[in-house]
Amino acid sequence: MRAVEKTKEEWAQELTGQQCFVLFEKGTERPFSHPYNDNKEKGTYVCAACNTPLFDSDAKFDSGTGWPSFFKPVDADNVEEITDRSHGMSRTEVLCTNCGGHLGHVFNDGPRPTGLRYCMNGAALKFIKAV
């Protein structure tokens, strides 16, 4: 059971169609299509569905992939990693622990200090600018 549980209809009233597609149908956005890919401002990226803090701008880097990428989450307890065997490959899917929303995937080709690349869909995130 998740801390935040809503029906598809409830999410559809709160989120855009693209956000619902990415978060709750495990979709993905086109690379280089979301403004967060190029965002350089200081702040925190939270789950677009439930506002759980996910990534800090200090952990963001330009991976060249076209999706916002981070080398670590704000708190490991805020993300859940599960095996994704869709599309004929094996990857590690990243979900929001609170609502179960699909955020993207994590790969072992990121920068130091973790060597990880959390490749996230911008539509799954909301940016809270630091004050």
Q: For the chain, what is the mean pLDDT? A: 96
Confidence band for 87, pLDDT divided at 50, 70 and 90: confident
Is the pLDDT at 1 greater than 80, yes or no?
Answer: no
Percent of the chain with pLDDT over 70: 100
Residue 20 annotated as lining a ligand binding site: no
- For residue 109, the model assigns a pLDDT of 97
Mean pLDDT value across residues 44-73: 98
Is the pLDDT at 18 greater than 80, yes or no?
Answer: yes
* β-sheet bridge partners, residue 61: 69
Read off the pTM. Answer: 0.95
Q: How far apart are CA 30 and CA 91, in angstroms?
A: 18
- For residue 17, the model assigns a pLDDT of 96
In the residue annotation, 119 being an active-site residue is answered as yes
Residue of 20, 79, 106, 119 marked active site: 119
Phi, psi of 122 (to 5 degrees): -60, -35
Residue 99 annotated as lining a ligand binding site: yes
